[in-house]
C-alpha cells in the first residue's frame, strides 16, 4: 500500500508512485482518483509522461489511449489492458492498494 495526499494531485495530471515494487500511475479526474500500471501494455513507456484527457490517458510513445477506470486499451496499437489498483480515499489521504487484476 502507498498513501499520498489528495491535495498533491492536480486535476488532469498523473504522478508515478511505487506500490510494493510495482510502478503505478495515479491520476486525478475531478474529485476521483484512479491507479493503473505505469508501464504501457504495448511496449515500454511510462504513462505518467502521457496526457490525461477526461477518463483516459494517452501513451506518449505510440499514442494508445487507456481507460483510467478499467485499464482497458481503447485505441491501437495497444490491445492488452493495464493492471488496475484499488484506490481508497479518506479525507485528504488516498491509499493505493492491491492490484485488482493480474495480467
Q: Which is nearer to ligand FES, 10 or 43 (CB)?
A: 43
Of 8, 26, 9, the C-alpha closest to 17 is 26
Q: Are 85 and 19 in contact (CB under 8 A)?
A: yes
Q: Which stretch binds ligand FES (CB under 6 A): 9-17, 29-37, 55-63, 94-102?
A: 55-63
- Nearest CA-CA partner of 40 in 7, 73, 4: 73
Looking at beta carbons only, is 29 or 59 nearer to ligand FES? 59
The site string for ligand FES over 3-42 (x = CB under 6 A, - otherwise) reads -------------------------------------x-x
Q: Which of 15, 61, 74, 87 binds ligand FES (CB under 6 A)?
A: 61
DSSP 12-58: T-EEEEEETTEEEEEEEETTEEEEEESB-SSSS-BGGGSEEETTEEE
Q: Which residues are near ligand FES by CB under 6 A?
A: 40, 42-43, 45, 59, 61-62, 64, 77-78
Amino acid at each position: 500500500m502507498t498513501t499520498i495526499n489528495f491535495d498533491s494531485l492536480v486535476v488532469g495530471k498523473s504522478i508515478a508512485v511505487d506500490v510494493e515494487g510495482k510502478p503505478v500511475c495515479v491520476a486525478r479526474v475531478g474529485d476521483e482518483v484512479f491507479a493503473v500500471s505505469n508501464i504501457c501494455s504495448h511496449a515500454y513507456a511510462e504513462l505518467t509522461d502521457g496526457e490525461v484527457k477526461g477518463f483516459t490517458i494517452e501513451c506518449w510513445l505510440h499514442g494508445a489511449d487507456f481507460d483510467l477506470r478499467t485499464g482497458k486499451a481503447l485505441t491501437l496499437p495497444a490491445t492488452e489492458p493495464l493492471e488496475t489498483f484499488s484506490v481508497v480515499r479518506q479525507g485528504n489521504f488516498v491509499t493505493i492498494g492491491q492490484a485488482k487484476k493480474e495480467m
